[in-house]
Each structure stands twice: as structure tokens, then as C-alpha cells.
Structure 1
């Protein structure tokens, strides 16, 4: 095993933050239960924030982002994960203040890892990554509502060309729901033919139609919001009696200003989705579904595989909202 590895390193200087591909030494990684040779990672909005120097995500620099990783255990102090085990890591502190999957090696506590499901390849696992886990948690949450089934009405999904949105649309279509996809991009063909959405609406039109009054026409049995702000408000206002809206993202806004009426007149539920600190039992449940009954046949339509050299530009794309689908990093 080499003592050095390549990584995308974010440095802080007097002129701001820079992204550089560098050689790092394994001795610079913290001592932990598992040393993992990373095969694939993927890019999430949180990675783009970290790479831009957002101190709310990453406090200390130099830093290696990457909140997702899959690979092989190279060194182990764990009976659960012996050397050679294929493992999957998403969330917790990986890529935030612990060096992450944009390096060829990571060092982590045992409790952050799960076994890679036998039904998934490493590339497939990172095609899902945190986005897939978050989408899966969102779908699981709405299915727990007694009023939600495919015969009762449509489900609306915002940020539908993004990572979480793309996978959520695809899962819902696979299990029989009609999906209205909300997007700021002109990607109707991609959303309908590649992901399985039934209809597409521009985000500004959605806001005008569903967020202009204290209560909108009860249209959707459920909603999955990935952006926040007025879109989330419009979803809540247009959800049917006893329906549910999940909230997991902030690419549009960190705030929501909405009406109390959907809650007190229709019994609408608003559920927050957190994939970072989800328990291992919940993670295993969702990964089990993603690798079996929810496994998508259209993953290749959602992902673009990239190398380390392409990573800086793709991070900028995600931060500015220009990305489509998922970027999977191959080491």
C-alpha cells in the first residue's frame, strides 16, 4: 500500500479559497477504526458549500470534501468490517470536518460504515449516495401516511433535475405514483422520458399557482421538497386533507413563510428529513430498498461519471444550480 494518495484539497488564504489536486500522506489522516481505499464518491450540494469555504459546513482548512464514499477496507480494528470488506459511508461528519471521499483514502469510526449491499455495485451505490438515501427516506416517510397511495392523487417533487429530486421522481414512478416534477430548467424530455415524471411545471409557475393565496386547491396527496422557500410553502398549501410534505433541502432558500391554514383546516403534515445522523438500522432499511424493490433501472440516465480533474468545475456547477442529475467521482 502506498503511503501517499491523491485528493482534491480546499485551501484558505488571504485571497479566499482555492481547489487543488494534491498528493497527501496517509499519516495525515486521523487514527480510526477503519482505513478505506475509496473507489467512488459523488458530489452533493453540501460538498459544493464545503469547497467554497462555507464555515457552516467546514470549520478548518485545508480540507478534503466528499460526504459520500464507497470502497474497500485497507486497515481495520473492527470485527464487523475485516480487511477486504466492501463498505459504504454517507453522512455523519465525513467530508464536513473529517477528510472525505474526494481523497483516495478515508479514515473513519466503525459506526459510520455499512456493508455494501450485494445487489449493488460500487458505482451504483454512489449513483445513489446521500441523495439516494435522502430521497429514500423521503419516500419512506410519505408512504407511512395512511392517506398516501397511488390511487388518491399525484405527488409533487421539487428540484426534480437535482440529485435528490431525480431519484425521488424515479422511485415514485417505479412504485406506481403519478409525479408532477417542479424544475427551473427546461428539461421536460429528461424528466418525463428518463425519470418517469407524468407532468412538468416551471418553478415560477408553480409558485404563482400554489403560493399566491393562504390556501390553494387541494391537488397533491404528498410532496417532496428539496429547495425550501416559496416552493415548500406552495406544496403545503396545495396538499390534500391529511397529506404530507417532506422537506430536505435549502438550495432555494433557508426560510419558509407560509400559512397556518393547511395545518389547521386540512391536517397537513410537514416532516423534516435528515440523512446525516440517520441511525444504522434506518440506513440499512433504506439501502435494502434501494438495492431491491426500489432499485432503479435508469441510473445511467441520472449520473455522469467524472475524474478528479473535472471535480472543481462540477462543484461550481452544483453551487450555481447548473447541474443535472448526479455526478459520480471515480478514483
Structure 2
């Protein structure tokens, strides 16, 4: 095979640099399945991967990109055939294993999800890890009682980000009517209401000067993509028996709270991981993303080429990015 393009991160004398280079299959990590990339997507985790001390990549050189969709061009496994449309998210992709910012991706067969018939390669990456995470959050809240109450008061934090904006669209599509979006970006209010938010709160106005152990029970459930002080401020506001699905740490790794929401109001804090989800659960969630949780038509999407990726990395790092950015190969 001739050389092909990939975004390669390298470390020289303790400094991190990346650019688009021509590489060969020998530069890819080992695997049973070779995929010709059609689309990838850029997540917050990818923006950290290209930073020095970003905490994502520990060995170099490395190709980032935690999502990919495309076509199988060779396979050592009978259940994955040449020409089949597939997707991969999570596991070690783009972290410890060469990832999706490459024209070809090679991965272990057990990482590969056959693309549901209702999804195109493009729509799969509009969703990507962000959509997968959003669906896992919603699924967890449904199992905790959300599905029984379409009138439930819902709060979604970090609302202009990929996970949260897709969550709002999905919740609206499921018929939930009382969705409050919490955002730092005043300029996104109109877009968030168009996505399905019935109310939009600005972060500075929402956050109290001092977070009390318990507050008014304003929300039945919350989907938190931020963590840190934002999550600490949300927990005291959850109604008795409610729950919070927590999936992000952009607001910090620490959580300064008390046990009172948990032991006096029976609030559940539901941790959500999208990286190591078992394949059976993974396929169930992707089938939902192809049907009742498919929010791609309403999603805020920007399509770029690989050469434009650095601009998106910068906007993510600066907290200015809105919605989803996908890369077409």
C-alpha cells in the first residue's frame, strides 16, 4: 500500500509537536482489522492529547482520534467482512493505540462495532464518543426512574458542548418537556432552545456564592458533563429519589460536597464511563443511537478536513467550542 496521511504527535526533548505526515501501515498499532477511514470526530479528550502534560497520551509517536467510522479493507475475523461499514470508539484508540486521525486505522477485532443500518458513517461520527456518552447517561437515568416521567424536571450542564447538546436533542426526541440547559456561553441561548431546551440558565447566574449542603429541590434528574464545583452545586438541588449522571471533568477532578443529598434525599450519583463499556452493552446503545436516541438531525455540527483540526483543538482548549466537529477523509 502507498503512503497515506495521518496527524502524528511526537515528543522531542520534552516538547510536544504534531503535524500531518505521510506514513505506512508499519506506523500503525497492531490489530486484526484494517479500516479505511471515512469520518472521525474531535472530542475534548483529543484536544488534550495534543497538549504537553494533557494527561491523555503517555508514549510517542502517537496518532490521536478516539473515534472513527469507515469500511473494513482487511480482516482476520470471519464476523467482520471486507466492505463492511463499521465504527470504533473508546478502548485505547487515539490514546495508547494509533487512532482515528488517519486515512487508515488498524484495531483489535473486539473493538469494532458493525455500523447499524440506520446510520451512515457521517451520522455515526456526528454522534461519536459524545453521542455514545450522552446515550449512556440517558440510559442510566432511565433505569433510575426517568423513563416513567415525561414531565420530569431535567438539568443538563455544559450545554453547548458535544455530549450535552446531543443529550438535549435526544431528550427532546424522547418526549421530555422540562429540560433546563446550563451554559457559560450567552451566545448559544437561541441554539439551545432550538435543540429542545425549555429554559437556558447562564453559569455565572446559577452558581451560588457558597454551596449549601441542601437547597431547594428544583430538578428531578441532572446530566452533568462538567464536574467540579458545577456538580457540587447541582447535587443539593436534586429532588428526593432523583439522580445525577456524571460523565465529565472539564470543571475539575475534585468534588467538594456532603453526604446529605445522598442520605437525606436518596439522590443517586451515577458515574458514566464510555471507554471500556462491554461490547454487548455497546451494541445495544449504538442500536438506540440509530433509532430512538438519534439526535443527528438537530445536532450542532461543523464538518472540516484533517488540516483544519488544529483550529478545533484550540477552541476546545479555550472553552470556545460549540457542538460537534467531524473530520471527513
TM-score band by shorter chain is over 0.9
Deviates more, 1:125-134 or 1:45-54: 45-54
Distance 1:43 1:297, change over 3 A: closer
Residue in 2 that maps onto 1:63: 62
Aligned positions of 1:15-30 closer than 5 A: 16-30=15-29
Contact 1:35 1:73 in 2 (8 A): yes
Deviates more, 1:244-253 or 1:48-57: 48-57
Residue in 2 that maps onto 1:192: 193
1:309 to 307, 310, 316: 307
Distance 1:203 1:149, change over 3 A: farther
Distance 1:50 1:181 in 2: 28
| TM-score normalised by L of structure 1 | 0.95
Aligned positions of 1:114-263 closer than 5 A: 114-146=113-145, 149-177=148-176, 178-186=178-186, 187-193=188-194, 195-208=195-208, 212-263=211-262
- CA offsets, 1:253-277, max 9 Å, x none? 1111012211111000001000100
Gaps of 5+ in 1: none
Contact 1:148 1:222 in 2 (8 A): no
Contact 1:3 1:26 in 2 (8 A): no
Count of residue pairs the alignment pairs up? 327
Distance 1:316 1:93 in 2: 23
- CA offsets, 1:134-164, max 9 Å, x none? 0000000001113664445311001111010
How far off its partner does 1:54 sit? 3.5
- CA offsets, 1:219-276, max 9 Å, x none? 1110010111111112211000000001111111111101221111100000100010
Q: Residue 68 of structure 2 aligns to a residue in which SS? A: strand
Residue in 1 that maps onto 2:98: 99
Distance 2:84 2:296 in 1: 26
Q: Residue 274 of structure 2 aligns to a residue in which SS? A: coil
Contact 1:88 1:115 in 2 (8 A): yes
Distance 1:317 1:22, change over 3 A: same
Q: Residue 211 of structure 2 aligns to a residue in which SS? A: coil
Contact 2:240 2:267 in 1 (8 A): yes
Contact 2:32 2:75 in 1 (8 A): yes
Please state if 1:264 is matched with 2:270.
no
How far off its partner does 1:62 sit? 1.7
Contact 1:66 1:95 in 2 (8 A): yes
Q: Residue 208 of structure 2 aligns to a residue in which SS? A: helix
Distance 1:330 1:151, change over 3 A: closer
Contact 1:12 1:53 in 2 (8 A): no
Residue in 1 that maps onto 2:83: 84
How far off its partner does 1:308 sit? 0.9
Gaps of 5+ in 2: none
Q: Residue 270 of structure 2 aligns to a residue in which SS? A: strand
Distance 1:21 1:250, change over 3 A: same
How far off its partner does 1:317 sit? 1.0
Distance 1:151 1:42 in 2: 32
Contact 1:169 1:197 in 2 (8 A): yes
Distance 2:107 2:14 in 1: 32
